[in-house]
């Protein structure tokens, strides 16, 4: 067996972490032969709750989990990291305006970006989950300038999985029979779930999604809004935001970074836009279709984009530009 890798999860006392930590610790993400040291960060008022999570992890008696460090101190949490999964963020409170949320989170991700720069390994892979995930990721990246920009990504895999599952349910096939959906842009209600390049396995053959579903109006209408609004629908029903499905998506995202994507398949993740083939504005963390090999992602090239898609891709880029500029203006003050 190899040496343990050091994996940080922030927001470790929260509800996503409660599902996520078990999956990571039992080998679902980095493999059944990879020992793990878990570093768990939360804010000081949550540390007594975090103690309970640590006790439960110990009580799972998992063979791969070699050590657990629970802390409220960034210097301890970010030390020599191989992996940073940044889940914790300031939630939107009642009466809070969007710009206040951006401001509070810009400060958190400035601090965590600096901690990555100072304490983590330069090879660390950083996944930002806490919302607004794309902009938080961009801020952390900017404050960790000696870590390659390619090492940063944000989570849009939950949206990807939601889109995949909606198509699968419509066609009456398992979700694994649906591949190459794309989430473009922001992890917000402006995201664009795109099925123009999606394939569905029907009776043993791979069929274009539009031919499999045979309902263009649904694919260009309710399908898109269902995926865009799914997070809100879960909150309305459960009175809590998505946690089990978010943890599953984080595992999917990280496992693909670690082991690569299957041949001929692409997945969605928020990555730095620079010189990309789809003319998405530069200097954003924008969700693209990517393939991953040797722990390195590459944006899938050569996919045709029609006017319908182009307009939606631009709308979500516009929102991201506004978010970025608002967050950066706060940090400059």
* 243 close to 235: Cβ distance less than 8 angstroms: no
Can you give the binding site for ligand NAX, defined by CB under 6 A? 10-11, 13-17, 41-43, 46, 87-91, 108, 129-131, 133, 155, 158, 187, 231, 241-243, 246
* 36 close to 30: Cβ distance less than 8 angstroms: yes
Largest pairwise CA distance in the chain: 60
Closest chain position to ligand NAX (CB): 14
Q: Which is nearer to ligand NAX, 213 or 234 (CB)?
A: 234
Catalytic annotation present for 187: yes
Give min distance, CB of 18 to ligand NAX, in A: 8
**Encoded tokens for 28:** 């679902």
10 Å Cβ neighbour count for 37?
A: 18
Give min distance, CB of 158 to ligand NAX, in A: 4
Give min distance, CB of 212 to ligand NAX, in A: 26
Q: Which is nearer to ligand NAX, 10 or 25 (CB)?
A: 10
Q: Which is nearer to ligand NAX, 131 or 135 (CB)?
A: 131
Query: SS3 for 290?
Result: strand
Give min distance, CB of 16 to ligand NAX, in A: 3
Q: Which is nearer to ligand NAX, 108 or 140 (CB)?
A: 108
Angstrom distance (rounded) from CA 95 to CA 73: 30
- Alpha helices by DSSP H, 151-294: 157-171, 209-213, 216-220, 222-228, 230-238, 244-259
Give min distance, CB of 130 to ligand NAX, in A: 4
**Burial status of residue 28 (CB atoms within 10 A of its CB: 0-12, 13-18, 19 or more):** middle
Nearest to 129 by CA among 312, 288, 251: 251
Give min distance, CB of 178 to ligand NAX, in A: 19
Q: Which is nearer to ligand NAX, 92 or 295 (CB)?
A: 92
Catalytic residue among 160, 187, 197, 253: 187
Q: Which is nearer to ligand NAX, 17 or 251 (CB)?
A: 17
Write out the E strands in the chain: 5-10, 36-41, 65-71, 83-86, 125-128, 152-154, 178-179, 182-184, 192-194, 199-202, 205-208, 267-272, 285-293, 296-299
Phi, psi of 274 (to 5 degrees): -150, 125
* 173 close to 200: Cβ distance less than 8 angstroms: yes
Give min distance, CB of 25 to ligand NAX, in A: 17
DSSP string, 275-303: S-TT-PPSSSEEEEEEEEETTEEEEPP--
Phi, psi of 154 (to 5 degrees): -125, 160
Give catalytic residues, as residue numbers. 187
């Amino acid at each position: 067996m190899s040496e343990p890798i050091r994996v940080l999860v922030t927001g470790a006392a929260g509800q996503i972490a409660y599902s996520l930590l078990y999956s990571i610790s039992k080998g679902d993400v980095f493999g059944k032969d990879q020992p793990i040291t878990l570093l768990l960060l939360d804010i000081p008022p949550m540390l007594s709750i975090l103690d309970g999570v640590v006790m439960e992890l110990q009580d799972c008696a998992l063979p791969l989990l070699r050590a657990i460090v629970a802390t409220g101190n960034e210097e301890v949490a970010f030390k020599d990291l191989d992996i940073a999964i940044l889940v914790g963020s300031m939630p939107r409170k009642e009466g809070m305006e969007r710009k206040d949320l951006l401001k509070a989170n810009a400060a958190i991700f400035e601090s965590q970006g600096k901690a990555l720069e100072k304490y983590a390994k330069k090879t660390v892979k950083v996944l930002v989950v806490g919302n607004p995930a794309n902009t938080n990721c961009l801020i952390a990246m900017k404050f960790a300038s000696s870590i390659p920009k390619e090492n940063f990504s944000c989570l849009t895999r939950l949206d990807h999985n939601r889109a995949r599952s909606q198509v699968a349910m419509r066609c009456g096939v398992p979700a694994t029979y649906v591949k190459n959906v794309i989430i473009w842009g922001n992890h917000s209600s402006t995201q664009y779930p795109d099925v123009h390049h999606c394939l569905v396995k029907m009776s043993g053959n791979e069929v274009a999604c539009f031919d499999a579903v045979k309902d263009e109006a649904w694919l260009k209408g309710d399908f898109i809004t269902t995926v865009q609004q799914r997070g809100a629908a879960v909150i309305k029903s459960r009175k809590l935001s998505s946690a089990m499905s978010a943890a599953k998506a984080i595992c999917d995202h990280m496992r693909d970074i670690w082991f690569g994507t299957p041949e001929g398949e692409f997945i969605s993740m928020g990555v730095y836009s620079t010189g990309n083939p789809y003319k998405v504005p530069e200097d954003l963390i924008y969700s693209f279709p990517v393939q991953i090999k040797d722990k390195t992602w590459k944006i899938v090239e050569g996919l045709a984009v029609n006017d319908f898609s182009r307009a939606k891709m631009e709308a979500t880029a516009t929102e991201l530009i506004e978010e970025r500029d608002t967050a950066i203006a706060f940090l400059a003050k």
